[in-house]
Structure 1
């Protein structure tokens, strides 16, 4: 019970309340003083949340739910003025295993995508939410391929009403002898289901490890980040921000390690026909993860219809890079116009991480939530004007 306050004894399967430790709160607030934003924006601590990863906001209540790579999903109880009064554990009896992915359907059903299982919860804000295992273990990926590395899934409900999930594969570069089996199994892909878990389809192939995706509300295309191959050098390959316009597209991995850079293992092999290359070549090894389209009304017009994404930060570069929030503008035709840094300062000038952003998710009031699994925190970015 590592997250219990001193002297606390948890009842078995009782929801835990995560204490907002004053010293931890003070340290995070001090770190936030170093975060730089465009004029008129401010960033504040929203809540301390252990191992905070993917964020989902209930469309019916505005309550935020936060996944982790441990065994808990957390609920952030907002008192109505942008302040969290309590952080409690969600559905502790569910036995979560790596419940990184959380997302909502428009009717308020919560989906939790784990390492190798998908659950749904109707009425998640009630004392007894309706829980169903809609994709049992072994039906998301083969049981023999369960691994922590690249095992964090994310999910979204598409404009077609289907549940989409990313499925990373656990190799740096997939061994050629495993390519055919992984292609057929949908490892290194995006898959989709009906909301009851039936009708599994592989929507997109050739994806190394995506931990962020969202649909453009204007043209219904699916955009996603993809973390690319390590060991090709500090400055290659680029990370990717990709756009899928239809089912069946292939985004090139493992023939391409990122962008147009070929992998050593597949340099003499012929890539699939019609490979889709990135809309944006992102900074190499910056680990861009969660992303969301911004459709709120409180940010300046420049940001409406664009993409925010969270850079977790590099681990293999000689000089660390990342720990930022990026913003990508779109052209009228729906393709990318350019990417810029929106928020930075969690990485110090001497290469020390003070925070590592994971996900970004707009709230109903137009502010932007940012999760950070290094600092175990969720931040709120708002626009206060000039």
Structure 2
């Protein structure tokens, strides 16, 4: 693939010293955590914050749905500089770091910012890696990440609530070389994955998947699934939640034809970003747990989600169970003041949580009680 360049995006650098007390307006005291854990506001100046990635130099990059890509310089648990490195992109929710460059998803495009750590104040022109992805915006924003194989993994959600479209274009997770070549489908039957990661021991792909709407308050469930090999099919649009046939498309397919989930996460919780915890700060019981950001329901009669959970499971997906880790963004009376979108462990063992509703990044730490 020939690498091309697109016109330089409007970019500004805003250098601002910022401390954890700068965001006192957010009711962070309402968040409930297990004993010994503490949560603070790292920044409340990241509008529509979605996926996060960290460079080796300690620069936190944050995608968004409002066209901007942010860079936060971190030092000792504080933000010492804030930059907007791009604007005008189409829903650049997903970002990934690889070989000194930042990759950004923009619906039908993946672009790359070279040597960006050294050019926060004067971002380079983005290089187009591919512009061949579907243009549909329904489930068109993407979480992206590099796998242990060095390839860039790119999902493509279904362009609908429920439909049966080209399985080589939609409702899948694909991968490509860092230069955009050699694209292939990894797994099919995935309605909309907005978070995935690889197990620290087995290096197998695990991912979240959002269930369809308009079948009622309590079905189908969002899923946590595992894809240990290429070519697996996880059921969409024929089967939902591992056990719920679709009333329109599932008549000629049994749910047993498809790969079941590792865990059912709950109906309409909108499970988005997920990461395995491999740090040393949290108690040993959290090692290799999966943290999942639940963005929260939008049309359920009684709201669900709006929290961070963790899933404990064997490396092969057995014995999975889910526990609430952080909650309180949804208050009594169904008042919402935040919506978790992604999670990211830091090298010091703390955990970051992005919140696109509050435009904030939180940092969770642990100290023995």
Q: String of CA shifts for 1:177-220, please: whole Å, max 9, x gaps.
A: xx3xx2132x1100100011000001110011111111112101
Q: Is the 8 A contact 2:110 2:130 kept in 1?
A: yes
Q: Is the 8 A contact 1:124 1:130 kept in 2?
A: no
Which residue of 1 is the match for residue 69 of structure 2? 73
Q: Is the 8 A contact 2:275 2:291 kept in 1?
A: yes
Which residue of 2 is the match for residue 100 of structure 1? 93
Which residue of 1 is the match for residue 50 of structure 2? 53
Question: Normalization by structure 2: what TM-score?
Answer: 0.91
Displacement of 1:13 in angstroms is 2.7
Which residue of 2 is the match for residue 17 of structure 1? 14
Q: Is the 8 A contact 1:250 1:272 kept in 2?
A: no
Q: Secondary structure at the match of 2:30?
A: coil
Q: String of CA shifts for 1:50-106, please: whole Å, max 9, x gaps.
A: 110111111x1121100001211000112x1101123210144xx42110001112x
Q: For 2:36, which of 31, 37, 40 is the aligned residue?
A: 40
Q: Secondary structure at the match of 1:339?
A: strand
Gaps of 5+ in 1: 1-11
Gaps of 5+ in 2: 1-8
Which residue of 1 is the match for residue 141 of structure 2? 152
Displacement of 1:330 in angstroms is 1.9
Q: Is the 8 A contact 2:202 2:315 kept in 1?
A: no
Displacement of 1:270 in angstroms is 2.4
Q: For 2:239, which of 235, 242, 256 is the aligned residue?
A: 256
Which residue of 2 is the match for residue 90 of structure 1? 85
Distance (Å, rounded) in 2 between the aligned partners of 1:83 and 1:42: 15
Larger strand fraction of residues: 2
Q: Is the 8 A contact 1:239 1:259 kept in 2?
A: no
Q: Secondary structure at the match of 1:125?
A: helix
Which residue of 2 is the match for residue 232 of structure 1? 215
Q: Secondary structure at the match of 2:14?
A: coil
Residue 230 of structure 2 corresponds to residue 247 of structure 1 = yes
Distance (Å, rounded) in 2 between the aligned partners of 1:112 and 1:253: 27
Distance (Å, rounded) in 1 between the aligned partners of 2:338 and 2:208: 20
Question: Normalization by structure 1: what TM-score?
Answer: 0.87
Distance 1:111 1:335, change over 3 A: farther
Q: Is the 8 A contact 2:204 2:226 kept in 1?
A: yes
Displacement of 1:350 in angstroms is 1.0
Which residue of 2 is the match for residue 221 of structure 1? 204
Distance (Å, rounded) in 1 between the aligned partners of 2:367 and 2:78: 16
Displacement of 1:129 in angstroms is 4.3
Q: How many residues align?
A: 356
